[in-house]
Amino acid sequence: MTGRLIALTLALALAGCTSYRPQDLRSGMGETEVTQTLGLKLTGRYPGPQGQTRLEYATGPYGRVTWMVDLDAQGRSVEWAQVMDETTFRYVQAHFQGKDQQWLQYTLGRPAEVFALGWLGGSVWNYRYPTTECLWFQVTLNKDGTLRDGGGFGIDPRCDPPSNWR
């Protein structure tokens, strides 16, 4: 019985790994086909320019991977990217002025964590990403939802400090 349980568990684990196929995304796919190809749950939908829609597929440990797929006005895929990376964060830093939380969500998707700023008002949106460093990307928003800054990198509190750290 134990051998069967181990075999079933292994088969399910392998099936889960093989269903995640972002490399198989192609232009012209509809939302259902994109979702099946990615093997991920849709976590957000954002209206874009000229009738486009951006689909968000946030996943990974603590939301460290987020795929954004743009559909044209006819609902067919035209562009896609994993946006939790330093290139996208640099884009936010360079283009934040005059932008708001809707723009930030359209660009990066949902944050991993949000911290309220108390008496200062506003909040800090935190994004984890695949990195060998113990960092996350943080953007500060004003009370009215406008971006206060273009963001920066901070120490992720979920990381363990080095064993010799005091």
Q: Are residues 37 and 74 in the same domain?
A: yes
Low-confidence ranges of the chain (pLDDT < 50): 5, 7-18
Task: Name the packing angle between helices 101-108 and 86-95 (round to 10°).
Answer: 160
Looking at residue 140, its pLDDT comes to 97
Looking at residue 133, its pLDDT comes to 87
Looking at residue 62, its pLDDT comes to 72
Q: Are residues 72 and 93 in the same domain?
A: no
Q: Are residues 76 and 131 in the same domain?
A: no
- Choosing from 59, 82, 105, the residue where a domain stops is 82
Q: Are residues 143 and 71 in the same domain?
A: no
**How many domains does one find in the chain?**
2
Buried b (16+ CB within 10 A) or exposed e, 46-84: beeeeebebbbbbbeeebbbbbbbbbbeeeebeebebbb
Q: Are residues 125 and 60 in the same domain?
A: no
Q: Which residues pair with 69 in a beta bridge?
A: 55, 80
The enclosing domain of 163 has a CATH number of 3.30.1450
Looking at residue 21, its pLDDT comes to 82
Residues contacting residue 151 through CB under 8 Å, at least 6 positions apart: 89, 92, 93, 96, 137, 138, 139, 140
| Structural domain of 39 | 1-82
Query: How many residues appear in the chain?
Result: 166
Looking at residue 158, its pLDDT comes to 84
Is residue 104 within 8 A of residue 44, CB to CB? The reply is no
Q: Which residues pair with 80 in a beta bridge?
A: 69
Looking at residue 5, its pLDDT comes to 47
The enclosing domain of 47 has a CATH number of 3.30.1450.10
Q: Is the backbone of residue 9 left (phi > 0), alpha (psi -120 to 50) or beta?
A: alpha
